[in-house]
Amino acid sequence: MRPIGVHTSIKDTLINAIFEAAELKCSTFQIFLHSPKVWEIPQWDENLIGEFKKQRQIYGLNPLVIHAPYLINLISSTPKTVASSRFLLKREIYLAEALEADFYVLHLKDNKDMEKEEIYAKTKEGFIKIEDNLHCKILIENTAKSKITARIQDLFETYEKVQTSQVGGLCIDTCHLFAAGYDLRKEEDIEILIKEIEKYGDFNLIKLIHLNDSKAEVGSGIDRHEHLGKGAIGKEGFKKFLKINELSSLPLILETPKKSLEDDRKNLAFLREILKKLES
Ligand SMILES: [Zn+2]
Ligand SMILES: [Zn+2]
């Protein structure tokens, strides 16, 4: 069975994220290590980290995915921001490693005034400062609008150019694909997506799927997640996307809007129903 999970909250305690995932009968989960809008990183003692690892074992949640904060900007033209970003990235990945996380999902920043080569070089420099023998690997996520990570060709080119031993592959987000112009509701666009992955990269480089519907229309370049089946991708789009054989064993993580656990419950039920039909 492919792992299914949601982004859970560490708001009250770190362990809460595990209990939330367990309560939702998830087999994987994703967390932020702290509020994604602040630079401060939490100080967790060994006991808490030990308890987290123990509880995760008990509930059998694999993989554990950490999502990077949005502040990290390895290519900023302000040297101070680059330095803070490198420092935060490194600290985050070491903390992720201490938690025995498997993947660290990162969005790369684009800059319309900067050449691709400069973006690649600066990004890569941020990666090589991190120890290179860690279990936890960086996954680069596709984005809704960017010259380096929105279209599949650009995403694979970027991956190749910034690849270091700290980077373990790619994460594909359905909302971002849709916003970047891949109309998942259409068979022909699904075909284009498959062909582009085969032509410019390799399915094996994709390690994780973020499954989100989109509030914005196809090709909008706008990154607004919606409940599964309630957005522009809709049920037909997800049925087609989830049928892609080469992606069918990858972990699925939902980052859909969430006011309470009830929202996750509904989205997971929607997903499980589609998967059940595909399996039968
Ligand atoms: Zn995502
Ligand atoms: Zn998004």
CATH number of 4-279: 3.20.20.150
109: helix, coil or strand?
Answer: coil
Ligand 1 midpoint to CA 43 (Å): 26
Calpha distance 28→21 (Å, rounded): 7
Is residue 12 very low, low, confident or very high in pLDDT (cuts 50, 70, 90)?
A: confident
Ligand 2 midpoint to CA 43 (Å): 28
Ligand showing the shortest atom-to-Cα distance for residue 210 = 1
Contacts of 246 (CB under 8 A, 6+ apart): 194, 197, 203
Is residue 11 very low, low, confident or very high in pLDDT (cuts 50, 70, 90)?
A: confident
What are the residue ranges spanned by the domains of the chain? 4-279
Ligand 2 midpoint to CA 175 (Å): 6
Contacts of 123 (CB under 8 A, 6+ apart): 74, 75, 108, 162
Average pLDDT in the 38-54 region?
Answer: 95
Average pLDDT in the 222-243 region?
Answer: 98
* Residue whose tokens read 């499954």: 211
pLDDT above 90 (res 149): yes
Ligand 1 midpoint to CA 209 (Å): 8
Is this prediction's pTM over 0.85?
yes
Query: Are the C-beta atoms of 83 and 44 separated by less than 8 Å?
Result: no
Ligand showing the shortest atom-to-Cα distance for residue 221 = 2
Ligand 2 midpoint to CA 246 (Å): 23
pLDDT above 90 (res 122): yes
Ligand 2 midpoint to CA 10 (Å): 20
Ligand showing the shortest atom-to-Cα distance for residue 254 = 1
